[in-house]
A and B are shown apart, each in its own frame.
Chain A
């Protein structure tokens, strides 16, 4: 099959970028979308043009490295599917496909389709953990966890940290990412002792980089792991109770 790719090219963060159009022929519909970019890059190299930079690694939809806007949709047309798992059978022969990096102030462009998502690491460092030093854990079955709670935690923990939620959001908010981590840890008895400090610290860090949530729910539609916006409700609930708890404790 044939595709026309319109790809964002930008040498670095200091230089302005622009779309460049490439024609690809003799593609197989079984190929993955990133393999089509591989084919393009091999051709560019042959022509003496620098290949398109893009982040990718596992190509199994689990590492969260990849992620581009395909025709205006984060990770492309397939629901609950990361870019690396999109195959060309999702497109029609001769289609025009527009490929851009995530567009968000919190994710500065590095080069071409590659962006800097280290803000997500800063948010986890602020409180996205359970403080349990190695060696101090009690026996694993000491605390039974009701299956529904474990399932809720696992649904949220499936987040791969790709950033599609931010890219999809008109406000460039990161509530789905942060809500997913909070729901994962706060749903479990192990996460309870630090629940209030965790939500306050993570939200404060989040607001340094990202916009505010106004319930568009575009994030849920874009999430390659199908994480529900229920996690945002959980974030809000835990945040309010932490705020109230904190002010009650300080006597305000």
Chain B
């Protein structure tokens, strides 16, 4: 079966597309909404916002999370802020400029119409969140404050100290709690989706495992929404929470949903460098620190002196030198590569020489320590707790780490995947960020999808299905998938090998970081294409998971997720190998300028690479969606 990748972008001027589309989408009348059941998997920004908004509309919503509470979703950890084109600073911002910056920042690999809609909705998101009681930072006059983020020359980022994600998530979580109280949303916590059920070409439900008692059971619904986040944990060491995983979207991919741009991963420049082998994760230091922090390394390689002892003339402020226009606020992909380049030539700092300095000294001198503490106090405290060092006295050390994945399930303008009735929102889908996400845009996209886009577009899918109910969960379609899920779990327990899940995950992560991380080469990716299946085969033979299926078993949960990471890793490498260009976060060493800048190839690769699953051991089939740029002319991205 050939997949038709029709983005269903409405015709007409870009400014009017969303308005016209909302008018043309078929509506479901209020009393009929009660007749539709919608499953939302994941309760982060996108999922909780969608569940709340769908509940308010009158749909019967079932929300699922593997956490003990929706408030734990990893959106909570987003620090810096959320963009909106309010132009409160009078600095020349507009919907068009936010659109332009996002398309350019994404290195011309995102769909114009989607990004324009995102920029249009950005202002409404801020209005809504303020009304919910999100305590954004304010000026003394009582109005909202803004700060700057990478890749933009205007200050359009709204923030709540260094806890913007937490506060926006609590807003969405509380909105969902209101609907739980009202009876429109039913919440299942500590319940993990392990497969999707497709019947007669349409998504009709999911199969889950109750993480407390191991029960495998199905839930049927008229539509399924996946809001399950990104897959940076394929690298093992990332800034993602430990449980973040790809299982829901990967299982949907295996059931027929195309997976788009899997190799577009974001390596965030400002994370705390790894300091020992048994480290379990990496910690992000918000990009907002680049507003007031200067990035530098000693001019001399392997300089043994402490930072304080290195005179100004012997410091290389590498971003200010290479990119004078944007300075320390270049986009993430550009900053990460510049940092890697100096560490690769032995100019790295710290005990393992695996970082660069992010120095607040000049800003402390200019603004005072109190002002810096007000802006970044909680980040600086977190840094101190982890490293035992004091950033008010000595520069912080940072190095890039996997942070966000632009790739994800392919969706059309309505946010529907290639499986009718299966929608995908937030980081889990591929939309809007192209090959590199701009800072403070993830929260914006998750909330735009959840609050404002999906609640409208899902009606267009449901309306014609009023007389076409889904089968009950006793139907064979569900029973069959339940049996498959149980079988996979039992197999993991029955392997009885000698190595732990984490051992395999670390091996896979290291392999992916080396071969499919910040710099990718044909040779490396070809090696990975044989190394990953070998490791995967060993996993199938030598995995050891103790305990049983019928109670809380955290190793078993992790084993299922890592099994899916293996398959996803193979697709990421295949995608990275096929894309013979460098763009955004995807850097192929064969395609760079003499100065080390990325070289994009618009004649051959100005498309979304969506992959169709074709079996465990056969290569996925490429289904490109061509991208056309009518409003922003693709050009060499320059920040210098």
**Is A141's CB under 8 angstroms from B88's CB?**
yes
**Is A30's CB under 8 angstroms from B276's CB?**
yes
* Known A85-B382, A134-B128: A114·B552 in contact at CB below 8 Å: yes
Interface hits, A150-194 → B, CB 8 Å: 150, 153-154, 157-158, 160-161, 184-185, 188, 190-191
A42 at the interface (CB under 8 A from B): yes
- Set of chain A residues within 8 Å of B275, measured between Cβ atoms: 30
B271: min CB distance to chain A, Å:
11
B21 at the interface (CB under 8 A from A): no
User: How distant is the Cα of A153 from the Cα of B143 in the complex, in angstroms?
Assistant: 15
Query: Which among A47-55, A211-219, A229-237 touches the partner chain?
Result: A47-55
B283 at the interface (CB under 8 A from A): yes
Interface hits, B594-610 → A, CB 8 Å: none
Interface hits, B118-172 → A, CB 8 Å: 123-124, 126-133, 135-144, 160-161, 163, 166-167, 170
**Is B544's CB under 8 angstroms from A124's CB?**
no
**Is A45's CB under 8 angstroms from B135's CB?**
no
* Known A64-B72, A87-B386, A118-B189: A35·B130 in contact at CB below 8 Å: no
B412 at the interface (CB under 8 A from A): no
* Known A118-B189, A134-B53, A134-B452: A59·B69 in contact at CB below 8 Å: no
**Is B546's CB under 8 angstroms from A137's CB?**
no
**Is B174's CB under 8 angstroms from A65's CB?**
no
Q: Mark A69-102, 1 if CB is under 8 A from B, else 0.
A: 0000000001001000101010000000000000
B175 at the interface (CB under 8 A from A): yes
- Set of chain B residues within 8 Å of A85, measured between Cβ atoms: 382, 385-386
* Known A38-B278, A42-B502, A144-B143: A137·B128 in contact at CB below 8 Å: yes
In the complex formed, the residue of A with least CB distance to B498 is A46
In the complex formed, the residue of B with least CB distance to A161 is B71
**Is B280's CB under 8 angstroms from A188's CB?**
no
A34 at the interface (CB under 8 A from B): yes
- Set of chain B residues within 8 Å of A59, measured between Cβ atoms: 241-242, 280-281, 283
User: How distant is the Cα of A48 from the Cα of B500 in the complex, in angstroms?
Assistant: 11
- Set of chain B residues within 8 Å of A185, measured between Cβ atoms: 133
**Is B278's CB under 8 angstroms from A35's CB?**
yes
Interface hits, B287-318 → A, CB 8 Å: none
* Known A42-B500, A60-B283, A129-B178: A51·B382 in contact at CB below 8 Å: no
* Known A38-B278, A65-B68, A114-B552: A157·B385 in contact at CB below 8 Å: no
- Set of chain B residues within 8 Å of A103, measured between Cβ atoms: none
In the complex formed, the residue of B with least CB distance to A38 is B280
In the complex formed, the residue of A with least CB distance to B450 is A134
- Set of chain B residues within 8 Å of A64, measured between Cβ atoms: 69, 71-72, 76
Picked from A51, A133, A144, A150, the residue with its CB within 8 Å of the CB of B554 is A51
**Is B552's CB under 8 angstroms from A111's CB?**
yes
Picked from B49, B135, B243, B278, the residue with its CB within 8 Å of the CB of A39 is B278
- Set of chain A residues within 8 Å of B124, measured between Cβ atoms: 135, 137
User: How distant is the Cα of A163 from the Cα of B68 in the complex, in angstroms?
Assistant: 12
A28: min CB distance to chain B, Å:
5
A31 at the interface (CB under 8 A from B): yes
B158: min CB distance to chain A, Å:
8
Please tell me the number of chain A residues within 8 Å of chain B, measured between CB atoms. 76
User: How distant is the Cα of A81 from the Cα of B141 in the complex, in angstroms?
Assistant: 33
A242 at the interface (CB under 8 A from B): no
In the complex formed, the residue of A with least CB distance to B213 is A12
B77 at the interface (CB under 8 A from A): yes
User: How distant is the Cα of A121 from the Cα of B177 in the complex, in angstroms?
Assistant: 8
Picked from A49, A130, A157, the residue with its CB within 8 Å of the CB of B546 is A49
B370: min CB distance to chain A, Å:
14
Interface size class of B (residues with CB under 8 A): 35 or more
A138: min CB distance to chain B, Å:
7
- Set of chain B residues within 8 Å of A121, measured between Cβ atoms: 69-71, 177, 187, 189
- Set of chain B residues within 8 Å of A51, measured between Cβ atoms: 546-547, 554-555
**Is A118's CB under 8 angstroms from B133's CB?**
no
B433 at the interface (CB under 8 A from A): no
User: How distant is the Cα of A130 from the Cα of B134 in the complex, in angstroms?
Assistant: 10
User: How distant is the Cα of A48 from the Cα of B167 in the complex, in angstroms?
Assistant: 42
* Known A110-B212, A110-B552, A116-B68: A58·B74 in contact at CB below 8 Å: yes
A46: min CB distance to chain B, Å:
8
User: How distant is the Cα of A118 from the Cα of B65 in the complex, in angstroms?
Assistant: 13
B23: min CB distance to chain A, Å:
16
- Set of chain A residues within 8 Å of B180, measured between Cβ atoms: 125
- Set of chain B residues within 8 Å of A39, measured between Cβ atoms: 278
B539 at the interface (CB under 8 A from A): no
- Set of chain B residues within 8 Å of A87, measured between Cβ atoms: 385-386, 388
Picked from A58, A125, A138, A141, the residue with its CB within 8 Å of the CB of B76 is A58
In the complex formed, the residue of B with least CB distance to A187 is B135
- Set of chain A residues within 8 Å of B142, measured between Cβ atoms: 144-147, 150
User: How distant is the Cα of A60 from the Cα of B78 in the complex, in angstroms?
Assistant: 11
User: How distant is the Cα of A66 from the Cα of B502 in the complex, in angstroms?
Assistant: 19
Picked from A30, A56, A134, the residue with its CB within 8 Å of the CB of B451 is A134
* Known A128-B177, A140-B144, A144-B143: A134·B283 in contact at CB below 8 Å: no
Picked from A35, A128, A145, A157, the residue with its CB within 8 Å of the CB of B167 is A157
**Is A124's CB under 8 angstroms from B174's CB?**
yes
B173 at the interface (CB under 8 A from A): yes
Picked from B129, B141, B281, the residue with its CB within 8 Å of the CB of A144 is B141
User: How distant is the Cα of A56 from the Cα of B241 in the complex, in angstroms?
Assistant: 9
B473 at the interface (CB under 8 A from A): no
B210 at the interface (CB under 8 A from A): no
B86 at the interface (CB under 8 A from A): yes
**Is A130's CB under 8 angstroms from B552's CB?**
no
User: How distant is the Cα of A139 from the Cα of B53 in the complex, in angstroms?
Assistant: 19
**Is A62's CB under 8 angstroms from B77's CB?**
yes
* Known A130-B132, A190-B130: A57·B242 in contact at CB below 8 Å: yes
Picked from B70, B133, B141, B546, the residue with its CB within 8 Å of the CB of A50 is B546
A132 at the interface (CB under 8 A from B): yes
- Set of chain A residues within 8 Å of B123, measured between Cβ atoms: 140
**A-B interface, 3 closest residue pairs, ranked by CB to CB distance from nearest:** A144-B142, A137-B131, A129-B174
Name 12 A/B residue pairs within 8 A (Cβ), A-sorted.
A58-B74, A61-B385, A63-B74, A64-B72, A111-B551, A118-B68, A120-B69, A125-B178, A128-B174, A134-B451, A141-B86, A141-B144
Known: A59-B281, A60-B283, A134-B56. 6 other contacts (CB 8 A): A30-B276, A31-B276, A58-B74, A131-B178, A154-B167, A157-B135
List chain B positions with a Cβ less than 8 A from chain A.
49, 52-53, 56, 67-74, 76-77, 86, 88, 123-124, 126-133, 135-144, 160-161, 163, 166-167, 170, 173-175, 177-178, 180-181, 187, 189, 212, 241-243, 275-276, 278-281, 283-284, 382, 385-386, 388, 451-452, 455, 498, 500, 502-503, 544, 546-547, 551-552, 554-555
